[in-house]
Amino acid sequence: MGASMAFDPATKSVVLFGGLGAYGTTADTWSWDGEHWHALASAPSSTSRLEANLAYDSISRTVLMLGGEQLVPITDPCQRPPGRPLVCTPGKNFRGVALDAPFWGWDGRAWTARSYAGPTPSTEAALVTQSDGTVLAFGNGTWTYDGNAWQLRAFAPPDLIEPEGIALDPDSQQVIAVERFQPGVCMPHSGCSKPAYMRTFTWTGSKWKELADRQTPFASGDAEHGQGSLVADPAGGGLLMIAADGSTWRRSRGDWRQVAIASESPPVLEGMTLVSDPASRQVVAFGGSASTSFQKSNATWVWDGRHWKELTAPIGPTPLPGVVAPVACSLNGPALQANQEANTGATVHVMVSNIFITSPCDLKVAFTFTLVDASGKRLAVAGNPSVVNVDTRTTGIGGRAVTITWLWTHACASTRVHAEIEAVGVGAYPRPISVNLKSVPACSGSEKSTLGANPYRIT
């Protein structure tokens, strides 16, 4: 579910990256050769994401990846009964993690974070390869990429805001975008008399121009990203789109025509992505989920220009297994809770919980807790900073949740206080976390504060 795809002309194959599994977003890369999926590489966990935008850039000869969302579970989705196989249920309680690097490039062997200077498009921008091989991005304006930097070509137009599909039309060699439009302002139960309809636009190289398309169907795409629902049809010509009612439509020179009814088309699934595969003259539809069950997350469909076919026969390993045992120990979370006892000789408790250690484990992390004032200066408190070491190699606690509690006794300060928590080691959380502590009383001349930590608890 939520995997991203693009065609790579250098390898003449479709590249697929990421998605969502039981343990959150994945960082696997796969290729489609027209008949089979092949596992290519597992990228660093910092690249894991779903619903990123991909497009091939002929200048840098890489598949570019922009944005996406990275998720980790809040609760452990797996049970590990002694002497019995792992039992996992797909998690639905996730929290987002800020992306370390939103912009990456795939050179056919590995993903590399790409640095750039100056302004950039939104990380939710849709990407599309233009006829000259350059990449166009639509989001907070229209941008192009020259292999090294982004250049703003036009500000966001007032008429085209969130396209539900954007692709290069093989007939006109122009970038086409479709968007749902609602005349007027319609609130729930307001009785709007003017129904919504679809509009079509083209990029002229300097601005977006509305086209006079006829019978444009409602798209089933994700309006937030505008990518993966409108694609070129390498076998039948024109553009192909799955409508909101599940039927399949083709656009040819401004005319839309239904080419398959809903029962002949892939089901309308959340997170399903379409990509044009000119090497095998197919449109490939992959993934998606109708619920949190993940049961349809591995469905692969191909369009040969006339018919859809679901590949249910053995086609080799498929990406995004719905439930998988982790291959290495990881540290997810943490979720932070800060509270303070409101009594004399106040004690501030800062709890780090929901740290899930997955098996097989080899996790060794040092958690450092530091109290600082509003200027970032470390407070003169005994035991500050305080360090707790979590070493699963000595405890053998695969698949359990860890909680750590820091105690600041006789808590007092003269300014607003922050608690900074940093984890360093194998599988550690990638960046320091700051917690604002409230209602810390002012210190008298004789008060002395002490910082300490309870040994971590396993639940």
Q: In this structure, what token pair is assigned to residue 302?
A: 């191909």
Within-domain flag for 323: no
Kindly state the percentage of the chain with pLDDT values over 90. 31
Average pLDDT for the chain: 79
The Cα–Cα gap between 115 and 50 comes to: 21
Within-domain flag for 318: no
Residue 326 has a pLDDT of: 41
Within-domain flag for 93: yes
355 shares its domain with 301: no
The CATH number linked to 452 is 2.60.40.10
Mean pLDDT of all residues in 200-223: 84
362 shares its domain with 436: yes
Residue 393 has a pLDDT of: 59
113 shares its domain with 226: yes
269 shares its domain with 337: no
pTM: 0.71
Q: In this structure, what token pair is assigned to residue 16?
A: 């697929």
Residue 247 has a pLDDT of: 93
Task: Specify whether the CB–CB gap between 287 and 269 falls below 8 A.
Answer: yes
The CATH number linked to 16 is 2.120.10.80
Tell me the DSSP string of 259-277: EE-GGGS----BT-EEEEE
Summarize pLDDT for 226-266 with one digit per residue, the tens. Answer: 556 899 999 999 999 998 888 999 999 889 999 999 999 98
Count up the domains in the chain and report the number: 2
Q: Which domain holds residue 419?
A: 331-458
CA angle 120, 124, 128 (to 5 degrees): 80
More confident residue, 168 or 244: 168
99 shares its domain with 41: yes
Within-domain flag for 320: no
Residue 404, strand partner residues: 352
Within-domain flag for 49: yes
80 shares its domain with 16: yes
Q: Identify the H or E element spanning 392.
A: helix 392-395
347 shares its domain with 426: yes
Within-domain flag for 373: yes
259 shares its domain with 343: no
168 shares its domain with 289: yes
